[in-house]
Amino acid sequence: MNSANIEGSVLSVLRYPVKSMMGEELSFVEPPRKGHPKPPVWIMLPHGTNITSDQHNANAVLSRYFESS
């Protein structure tokens, strides 16, 4: 597919794990570009902390969160 055929793009994806609850956004920090490495993604933890997958302490933050839950 070439760029002449592109009519739009996805800006964000929302997931609703429980229909009656608020959704969560599943999205890249910036739109992916063909021929470039995939950009980092946002990781939004239930208690309100937002980190990115390329953040230097992302593994430690996730480990602390999952060890305490």
Whole domain around residue 44: which residue ranges? 40-69
Cα–Cα distance measured from residue 59 to residue 54, given in angstroms and rounded to the nearest whole number: 9
Cα–Cα distance measured from residue 69 to residue 55, given in angstroms and rounded to the nearest whole number: 21
What's residue 35's pLDDT? Answer: 93
Residue 32 inside a domain? The answer is no
pLDDT of 69 > 80? The answer is: no
Cα–Cα distance measured from residue 56 to residue 58, given in angstroms and rounded to the nearest whole number: 6
What's residue 40's pLDDT? Answer: 92
Residue 10 inside a domain? The answer is no
What's residue 2's pLDDT? Answer: 58
Cα–Cα distance measured from residue 43 to residue 25, given in angstroms and rounded to the nearest whole number: 9
Pairing of strands 42-44, 50-52: antiparallel
Residue 57 inside a domain? The answer is yes
Residue 53 inside a domain? The answer is yes
Residue 14 inside a domain? The answer is no
Q: How confident is the model at residue 8 (pLDDT cuts 50, 70, 90)?
A: low
Higher pLDDT, 2 or 55: 55
Q: Tell me how many domains the chain contains.
A: 1
The neighbouring-strand residues paired with 44 are: 50
pLDDT digits (tens, 9 = 90+) for 25-56: 668 888 888 899 989 988 878 777 889 999 99
